[in-house]
């Protein structure tokens, strides 16, 4: 097994995840099987209990793992399927060690960070790196390990030490360290500043790790003089100092690294065979060019909780973009704060109210994404009503499906006050209810999670067409509430069809509204399996219908 470690310095949010994914993609294009591990030095066991508004989206895997959004980047870039163990957290490491201590694994010994925690980390990497991820059951050849946070944080110290030891365990010829840093431009002269990078490399080297490559984030391409200076101070040859300057689209990142000979240099260090026959890379280049050439635009109103952090809905955004690229348009997401649509905001914040409704009406399609808690729910219900009544393409994901069902129950079935028991425990008409098997005491990992089968109920529906004629589909879930089975027959009689159900036909998975050009909802989260060249079918359905409705 070969390992490519990607660490980061200076500040977070430099695009370490994209760098890691890009390097993985480049090695994969040589014909090697590539997997990835993300290390998150926080104490949570997983991302399941973390707010997406603080930490970015919670990504969900087939096995039900609730993980860091970087695993989504790996899955999309490398077209692989990861497991919960591919996300290593401090919480998981300590839990294992403490459990082992209680079992008596360390009998007689004092259990310590070094060597017990650091050994656990190395054993974990060793074990998880060989889990097959590409569906063929073959062991990967290369494992990308991304170390979250920045080197020098107290939290990441045990991991840095574990990696230092790991280079000897696996052999230096199987170990490449890529350090991602920032090269800012300050002042009127516009000089590229190397000091922050010098400092972070110094810190890394003090910890016993010497980077093989520096990936420098900057606005403009790194100048030769900058590279030379970094080479001098950082103990890295200037050919191994890579410029990761701003590019027109994300797909350009691997190409940018490729142009700087990265693949050949990493391959050489790891003893991998270089080849010029790389159809995957060609396809990738084509995609990057296609994205840059797009002229028309399609606008989707995303009606959710307001967030300045687009990472909160990362996979949803990706799924929309993948779909737009396929119809041949740029994706323009119009963020509509759901609370702004609510009647109360007309007096409380008239400007927001007017803008929210204007934006909703100006869009070609409406999307209500997943969510928890009752803030903005009434606004989302109004958005669903607007889309239903005005024949505007609508996609509801998870909460978005539930909202559409509540709206329909209230306004078509005439059951005033219908709601989900999540938002109103005493609602006279519970259209959405708590699932019987859910836990009311434990929040972590207790939802209906991961991949489940949906059976399509009829040939005569959009779902069959979108899923290429498949009648059994597998998508990822993350919810506690479901459509109340007692309401199904009334809803269906009135035209809201449950065209997808689980294998026991107990859980409602897909809704479609008869007579509407595209009014679709899924209890699952289709965004998690979207790929650049294979957009998620429900998202594609929305974007296709929205684009078509322009003319
Ligand atoms: N809050 C809803 C539930 O738990 C929807 C969840 C979601 O959208 N992921 O069922």
Catalytic residues: 398, 525, 527
Average pLDDT for 70-84: 96
What is the tens place of the pLDDT at every residue in 370-416? Answer: 999 899 999 999 999 999 999 999 999 999 999 999 999 999 999 99
What is the tens place of the pLDDT at every residue in 148-161? Answer: 989 989 999 999 99
CB of 396 closer than 6 angstroms to any ligand 1 atom: no
How far apart are alpha carbons 507 and 527 in whole angstroms? 20
CB of 140 closer than 6 angstroms to any ligand 1 atom: no
CB of 25 closer than 6 angstroms to any ligand 1 atom: no
End-to-end CA gap in the chain:
54
Average pLDDT for 256-278: 96
Sheet of 508-513, strands arranged across: 330-337, 297-304, 365-368, 394-397, 519-522, 508-513, 496-502, 448-456, 472-479
Q: Given ligand 1 and candidates 368, 480, 525, which is best to mutate, with the most ligand atoms within 8 Å of its CB?
A: 480
Candidate from 8-12, 137-141, 236-240, 534-538 with smallest mean pLDDT: 8-12
Query: Is the pLDDT at 551 greater than 70, yes or no?
Result: no
Q: How confident is the model at residue 436 (pLDDT cuts 50, 70, 90)?
A: confident
How much distance in Å is there from the Cα of 135 to the middle of ligand 1?
Answer: 29
Distance, CA of 241 to chain centre? 28
How far apart are alpha carbons 368 and 384 in whole angstroms? 8
Three-state SS sequence of 427-481: CCCEEEEECCCCCCCCCCCCCEEEEEEEEECCCCCHHHHHCCCCCEEEEEEEECE
CB of 377 closer than 6 angstroms to any ligand 1 atom: no
Index of the ligand 1 atom closest to the CA of residue 478 = 9
Q: Given ligand 1 and candidates 313, 373, 380, 399, which is best to mutate, with the most ligand atoms within 8 Å of its CB?
A: 399
Query: Is the pLDDT at 438 greater than 80, yes or no?
Result: no
CB of 338 closer than 6 angstroms to any ligand 1 atom: no
Average pLDDT for 465-475: 96
CB of 527 closer than 6 angstroms to any ligand 1 atom: no
How much distance in Å is there from the Cα of 411 to the middle of ligand 1?
Answer: 22
Q: Which residues pair with 40 in a beta bridge?
A: 89
Q: How confident is the model at residue 187 (pLDDT cuts 50, 70, 90)?
A: confident
Indicate the burial class of 5 (C-beta count within 10 angstroms; 0-12, 13-18, 19 or more): buried
Query: Is the pLDDT at 166 greater than 80, yes or no?
Result: yes
Whether omega for the bond prior to residue 185 falls within 30 degrees of 0, making it cis, is: no
Of 410, 424, 431, 396, the closest CA to residue 518 belongs to 396
> Encoding tokens for residue 419?
């709601």
Q: Whose CA is nearest to atom 6 of ligand 1?
A: 479
CB of 375 closer than 6 angstroms to any ligand 1 atom: no
CB of 422 closer than 6 angstroms to any ligand 1 atom: yes
Query: Is the pLDDT at 307 greater than 70, yes or no?
Result: no
Instruction: Give the model's pLDDT for residue 54.
Output: 81
> Higher-confidence residue: 318 or 373?
318
Q: Whose CA is nearest to atom 5 of ligand 1?
A: 399
What is the tens place of the pLDDT at every residue in 335-345? Answer: 999 999 999 99
* CB contact at 8 A, 78 and 127: no
Instruction: Give the model's pLDDT for residue 188.
Output: 79
How far apart are alpha carbons 125 and 39 in whole angstroms? 10
How much distance in Å is there from the Cα of 505 to the middle of ligand 1?
Answer: 20
Index of the ligand 1 atom closest to the CA of residue 370 = 8
Instruction: Give the model's pLDDT for residue 497.
Output: 96
Index of the ligand 1 atom closest to the CA of residue 422 = 1
Helix (H, G, I), strand (E, B) or coil at 308: coil
**DSSP conformation class of 139:** P
CB of 371 closer than 6 angstroms to any ligand 1 atom: yes
Of 276, 321, 315, the closest CA to residue 298 belongs to 321
Instruction: Give the model's pLDDT for residue 442.
Output: 81
CB of 539 closer than 6 angstroms to any ligand 1 atom: no
Reported as half-sphere exposure (CB side, CA atoms, 13 A), residue 7 has a value of 29
Instruction: Give the model's pLDDT for residue 532.
Output: 93
Q: Whose CA is nearest to atom 1 of ligand 1?
A: 372
User: What's the farthest any 2 CA atoms get from each other in the chain?
Assistant: 76
> Higher-confidence residue: 316 or 187?
316
Helix (H) or strand (E) holding 331: strand 330-337
What does DSSP say about strands 59-60 and 66-67: parallel, antiparallel, or unpaired? antiparallel
Instruction: Give the model's pLDDT for residue 443.
Output: 79
Query: Is the pLDDT at 249 greater than 70, yes or no?
Result: yes
Candidate from 101-110, 281-290, 307-316, 357-366 with smallest mean pLDDT: 307-316
How far apart are alpha carbons 415 and 497 in whole angstroms? 18
How far apart are alpha carbons 512 and 521 in whole angstroms? 7
Question: In this prediction, what percent of the chain has a pLDDT beyond 90?
Answer: 89
> Encoding tokens for residue 14?
């430099």
**DSSP conformation class of 115:** I
Index of the ligand 1 atom closest to the CA of residue 447 = 4
Q: Given ligand 1 and candidates 445, 481, 484, which is best to mutate, with the most ligand atoms within 8 Å of its CB?
A: 481
How much distance in Å is there from the Cα of 399 to the middle of ligand 1?
Answer: 5
How much distance in Å is there from the Cα of 372 to the middle of ligand 1?
Answer: 6
> Encoding tokens for residue 151?
């080197």
In the chain, count H helices and then E strands: 19, 23
Index of the ligand 1 atom closest to the CA of residue 400 = 8
Q: Given ligand 1 and candidates 479, 482, 521, 524, which is best to mutate, with the most ligand atoms within 8 Å of its CB?
A: 479
How far apart are alpha carbons 435 and 439 in whole angstroms? 9
Report angle CA 431, 435, 436 to the nearest 5 degrees.
Answer: 125
Predicted TM-score of the model (pTM): 0.95
How far apart are alpha carbons 279 and 345 in whole angstroms? 54
Of 115, 149, 125, 179, the closest CA to residue 2 belongs to 125
Of 320, 365, 332, the closest CA to residue 540 belongs to 320
CB of 410 closer than 6 angstroms to any ligand 1 atom: no
How much distance in Å is there from the Cα of 464 to the middle of ligand 1?
Answer: 24
How many residues in total does the chain contain?
A: 551
Index of the ligand 1 atom closest to the CA of residue 397 = 8
Q: Which residues pair with 472 in a beta bridge?
A: 455
Of 71, 70, 533, 21, the closest CA to residue 291 belongs to 533
- Mean pLDDT estimate for the chain: 95
CB of 306 closer than 6 angstroms to any ligand 1 atom: no
CB of 193 closer than 6 angstroms to any ligand 1 atom: no
Index of the ligand 1 atom closest to the CA of residue 372 = 1
What is the tens place of the pLDDT at every residue in 493-524? Answer: 999 999 999 999 999 999 999 999 999 999 99
Three-state SS sequence of 232-276: HHHCCCHHHEEEEECCCCCCHHHHHHHHCCHHHHHHHHHCCCCCC
Instruction: Give the model's pLDDT for residue 51.
Output: 85
Average pLDDT for 114-127: 97
Q: Whose CA is nearest to atom 7 of ligand 1?
A: 370
**DSSP conformation class of 82:** -
């Amino acid at each position: 097994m070969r390992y490519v470690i990607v660490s980061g310095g200076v500040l977070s949010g430099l695009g370490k995840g994209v760098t890691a994914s890009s390097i993985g993609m480049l090695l994969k294009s040589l014909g090697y099987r590539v997997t990835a591990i993300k290390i998150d030095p926080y104490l949570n066991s997983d991302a399941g209990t973390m707010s997406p508004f603080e930490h970015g989206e919670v990504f969900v895997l087939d096995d039900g793992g609730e993980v860091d959004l970087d695993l989504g980047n790996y899955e999309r870039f490398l077209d692989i399927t990861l497991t919960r163990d591919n996300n290593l957290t401090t919480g998981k490491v300590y839990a294992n060690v403490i459990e082992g201590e209680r079992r008596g694994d360390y009998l007689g010994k004092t259990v310590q960070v070094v060597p017990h925690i650091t050994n656990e980390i190395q054993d974990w990497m060793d074990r998880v790196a060989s889990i097959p991820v590409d569906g063929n059951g073959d062991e990967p050849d290369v494992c990308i390990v991304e170390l979250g946070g920045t080197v020098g944080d107290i939290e990441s110290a045990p991991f840095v030490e574990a990696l230092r030891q790991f280079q000897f365990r696996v052999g230096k010829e199987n170990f490449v360290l890529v350090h991602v840093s920032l090269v800012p431009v300050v002042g009127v002269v516009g000089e590229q500043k190397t000091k922050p990078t010098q400092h972070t490399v110094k810190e890394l080297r003090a910890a016993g790790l010497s980077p093989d490559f520096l990936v420098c984030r900057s606005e403009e391409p790194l100048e030769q003089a900058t590279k030379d200076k970094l080479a001098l101070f950082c103990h890295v040859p200037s050919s191994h100092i890579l410029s990761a300057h701003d590019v027109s689209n994300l797909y350009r990142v691997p190409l940018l690294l490729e142009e700087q000979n990265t693949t050949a240099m990493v391959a050489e260090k790891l003893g991998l065979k270089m080849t010029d026959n790389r159809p995957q890379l060609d396809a990738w280049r084509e995609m990057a060019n296609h994205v840059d050439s797009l002229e028309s635009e399609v606008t989707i109103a995303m009606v959710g909780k307001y967030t300045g952090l687009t990472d909160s809905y990362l996979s949803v955004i990706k799924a929309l973009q993948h779909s737009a690229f396929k119809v041949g348009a740029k994706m323009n997401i119009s963020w509509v704060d759901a609370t702004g649509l609510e009647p109360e905001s007309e007096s409380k914040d008239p400007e927001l109210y007017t803008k929210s409704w204007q934006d909703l009406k100006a869009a070609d399609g409406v999307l209500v994404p997943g969510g928890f808690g009752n803030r903005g729910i009434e606004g989302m219900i109004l958005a669903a009503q607007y889309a239903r009544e005005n024949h505007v393409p609508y996609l509801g994901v998870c909460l978005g499906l539930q909202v559409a069902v509540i709206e329909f129950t209230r306004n078509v079935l005439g059951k005033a006050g219908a709601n989900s028991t999540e938002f109103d425990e005493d609602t006279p008409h519970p259209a959405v209810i708590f699932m019987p098997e859910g836990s009311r005491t434990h929040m972590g990992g207790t939802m209906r999670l991961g991949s489940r089968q949906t059976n399509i109920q009829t040939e005569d529906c959009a779902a069959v067409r979108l899923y290429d004629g498949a009648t059994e589909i597998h998508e990822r879930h993350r919810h506690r509430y479901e459509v109340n089975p007692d309401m199904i027959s009334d809803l269906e009689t009135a035209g809201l069809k449950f065209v997808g159900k689980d294998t026991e036909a107990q859980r409602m998975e897909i809704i479609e509204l008869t007579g509407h050009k595209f009014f679709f909802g899924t209890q699952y989260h289709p965004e998690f399996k979207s790929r650049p060249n294979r957009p998620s079918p429900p998202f594609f359905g929305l974007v296709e219908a929205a684009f078509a409705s322009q003319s």
